[in-house]
A and B are shown apart, each in its own frame.
Chain A
């Protein structure tokens, strides 16, 4: 079956702009989590959505937001981009119900803010 698909793979934006990243989970998975990966801070949890509801949130400013659609696809948005937002943004999908289960990651979107 198809894996987790993230689009676009690469993105260059200017400071102050906003950006929307997309994640299509594995078919049947209802949980989508987003992570930011940078060399200095490692993999940091942004938020997790399940059945269109945000279930958990990390310690990121309000400029970072997300949503999930009825087909479990998810988007994350970053407004008023800063240079420090340059990172690899990863999403992971899982069944997300009951006890935790294995999460599958996409290849990520590499965002560069200039």
Chain B
């Protein structure tokens, strides 16, 4: 497959703290990046996206940072809540390609 499976990295944070989830993408030609959240038994849910002409984009409690030089993407969640516990996937795509490649995912545990 195109995203090699590994054991899922896990991030454990205290409720109220900020979380940072990191992702390295593979294709220099990718120009559209998305973060998804997947809760148990559900399909991935869109959180936030960013295009390659930006290096930062903010949503409600979430911020995505893009560093094209090192092909790195991060998701910052402010004031993490128990409801944020899920697996988070980064995904890359390129305009016109319509083929989205997902990272392996990071499991976020929020301790109350």
Contact = CB atoms under 8 A, between A and B. Distances in A.
Interface of A: 4, 31, 33, 35, 38-45, 48, 50, 55-56, 58-59, 90, 92, 96, 99-100, 102-108
B34 A102 contact: yes
A45 B100 CA distance: 7
B43 interface: yes
B98 A59 contact: no
Interface residues of B, number: 29
Interface of B: 1-5, 32, 34, 36, 41-46, 49, 51, 89, 93-95, 97-105
Given A33-B98, A45-B101, 10 more contacts: A43-B3, A44-B3, A44-B102, A50-B98, A55-B98, A90-B44, A96-B98, A99-B32, A102-B34, A105-B43
A58 B100 CA distance: 10
Given A44-B1, A44-B3, A59-B1, A106 B97 contact: no
Nearest to A44: B1
Nearest to A56: B99
Contacts of A42: 1, 3, 5, 89, 102-105
